[in-house]
Amino acid sequence: MISDQDFRFLLKESRYAKKILEIGTGTGKSTTALITNRAEVHTIDKDNVFEYIGIEDKIHGYHCKSSDYWKLYNVRDFDFVFVDGSIDAYDCEEILKRTTNHFKIIFHDYLPNEEKDPGRNKGWYNMKVFKETSFLNYDMTTKTGGTHCVLAELNKDK
């Protein structure tokens, strides 16, 4: 679950985004932060827990795994990505194909001083896989925020 500090960090960092991709809708608390700034939000979750009552026109919800989303939908030009699910190298490659030349990505459940395994520290593992996938073609700066988030800001350099 996203903490209040994470919620505020997400809200602040996404404030100028026009088109957002969220991987891992969960309860929808982070989705609520993302639509607050009036961006177009696309959210993917394998479970269909969150109901978009009253905000259906602001959110494009996809009830599937991310691997299926990439095959079924060709949505592009995301300038902000929020990852609160588990991703792999294929997800990272698709994120890089579908984002703008300059974009931000936040990984939730990031615990920098904890055990480094996918089950215990999902955010650290996701960030590691993402860095490995993107380091050749992007300049990247990172910073932590909230209680369990890390932000990477990327600029395509090639």
Contact between residue 148 and residue 128 where contact means Cβ atoms under 8 Å apart: no
> Is 4-156 assigned to CATH 3.40.50.720?
no
pTM above the 0.75 mark? yes
Cα(147)–Cα(156) distance, rounded to whole angstroms? 28
Which CA distances in Å does 18 have to 4, 15, 22, 35, 77? 23, 9, 13, 10, 9
R_g (Cα) of the chain, nearest Å: 14
Query: Looking at the DSSP assignment, which residues form a beta bridge with residue 81?
Result: 21, 105
Cα(74)–Cα(12) distance, rounded to whole angstroms? 28
**Total residue length of the chain:** 158
- Tell me how many degrees the CA angle 106-62-91 measures, rounded to the nearest 5: 45
Q: What is the pLDDT along the chain (158 residues), one digit of tens a residue?
A: 788 999 999 999 999 999 999 999 877 778 888 888 889 999 999 987 666 655 667 789 899 999 999 999 999 999 999 999 999 999 999 999 999 999 999 999 999 877 776 677 899 999 999 999 887 778 899 999 999 999 999 998 75
CB atoms under 10 Å from CB of 12, counted, come to: 13
Can you state the angle between helices 122-134 and 89-98, rounded to 10 degrees? 60
Domain ranges within the chain, ordered by starting residue? 4-156
